[in-house]
Amino acid sequence: MIRRSLPLLALGLGLAACSTPPPPPPGDPRLIITPAVQSLSFSAPVVNAGPDGRLRVNVNVVNPHGGDFPLRIQTDWLDETGRPLPTLQSRPVFRSLARQTVTTIEADAPSPRARDFRMTFDIGN
Amino acid sequence: MTDTARPARRALLAGAALLALPACVAGEMATQRVDPRNDRTPIGMGLDNRDFEEAARALVRSMLESGRLQPRPDGQPRVMAISRITNDTTLRINTNELTQLVSVELNNSGRVVTTTAVGLDGPADPLAMQTRQLRQSGEFNQRTVAARGQMIAPDLSLSGNIIQRSTRVDGGAMRVDYVFQLNLTNIRTGIALWQGQEVISRVGSGRTVMW
């Protein structure tokens, strides 16, 4: 009985290893990475304030694939109360990431009133 | 069935089929609302709202990044007037769609405000000047009527072009480039403070005709 169940147990463990979930996204809660783009690598966001007081964000994205990757980026800029500012800078931006390269995604706050941001990455089409 | 009834039946069936055809075509897609913040509807070879927003977003970003939009000496934002935006495409475009997006975004930045009292083809809002005529009216409390010398003249002028270039590419497809060009001119000196260009391109069926 035990001899019979051992291969089954081994098979079950093997299958569980195959279905290991993809690695978690970077810990920064300001980056929202949808499952469709989790095969890309995202750096932690670098946030600076420009000379005019507006926030500027850079995120490096690595495309390890053998083909170009269509990426859709949407950046919401939030005021001090956490409400999104109405701005064209929150409209989706589409980038085609060249294969096996690093692309820097940049976003600039529309005004110094923006205190925080939320950047969502999704597949472009 | 008699010989005379047969053609009549055929005609009836043909008529019914013809009537049903447009109903089928019209029933292919139901009307839906489109959320402009999450618009994933298909695109065409022409320009839609998303393209104007994309062009305006990129151009305003470039303007603000240039560092040339410094406030006036009194600390107040610069005053911009809208000049001519030329539509050099085969599309029927109301260029206000672009200028409105640009001026709203610049206003929100706190660096530039737009005057609607001065424009190339007359003011965008003629009422500001017309209400000055109330100075002669005894019906209005004159303290509530705009006094002389209150309006602020523009020191920046926004002009530009939207250009289209269509080329055939391999495989019979068509490539269309839409070039959005904007210039921000210092009215006092006539020198362009900032110039920018954003290109939006499409590749699609060569059978597409754009009007």
Choose the closest CB to A88 out of B53, B67, B111. B53
Give the one of A85, A91, A112 whose C-beta lies nearest to B57's C-beta.
A91
Is the model's pLDDT at B138 over the cut of 90?
Answer: yes
Side-by-side strand order, sheet with A31-33: A31-33, A116-123, A69-78, A93-97
Residue of B nearest to A113 (CA): B109
| Predicted confidence band of residue B126 (pLDDT cuts 50, 70, 90) | very high
Closest chain A residue to the Cα of B98, Cα to Cα: A88
- Over 70: is that where the pLDDT of B18 sits? no
Q: Within an 8 Å CB–CB cutoff, is residue A90 touching chain B?
A: yes
- In the predicted model, is pLDDT for residue B84 greater than 90? yes
Residue B152's pLDDT is 95
For residue range B164-181, list pLDDT tens digits in order: 999 999 888 999 999 999
Interface confidence, given as ipTM, is: 0.74
- pLDDT, tens digit, 9 for 90 and up, residues A33-46: 999 999 999 999 99
Which of A8-12, A32-36, B70-74 is predicted with the least confidence, judged by mean pLDDT? A8-12
Query: Does A93 contact B at CB distance below 8 Å?
Result: yes
Mark A30-57 as b/e (b = at least 16 C-beta within 10 Å): bbebeeebeebebbebebeeeebebbeb
**Predicted pLDDT at B28:** 83
**Global pTM value:** 0.80
Fold of the domain spanning B44-115+152-211: Rossmann fold (3.40.50)
Identify the pLDDT of residue B54. 95
Of B65, B67, B108, the CB nearest to A111: B108
**Which residue of chain B has the CA closest to A108?**
B61
| DSSP code string of A50-78 | -TTS-EEEEEEEEE-SSS-EEEEEEEEEE
Looking at the complex, does the CB of residue A60 fall below 8 Å from at least one CB of chain B?
Answer: no
Q: Which residue of A has its CA nearest to B100?
A: A88
Residue of A51, A86, A89 lying closest to B61 (CB–CB): A89
Q: Using a CB–CB cutoff of 8 Å, tell me whether A78 touches chain B.
A: no
| Spatial distance between the Cα atoms of B175 and A106, rounded to a whole number of angstroms | 28
Q: What average pLDDT score do residues A26-38 get?
A: 90
Least confident of A10-24, A105-119, B40-54, B61-75: A10-24
Where do the domains of chain A lie, and which CATH numbers do they carry? Answer: 22-123 (2.60.40.3230)
Q: How confident is the model at residue B127 (pLDDT cuts 50, 70, 90)?
A: very high
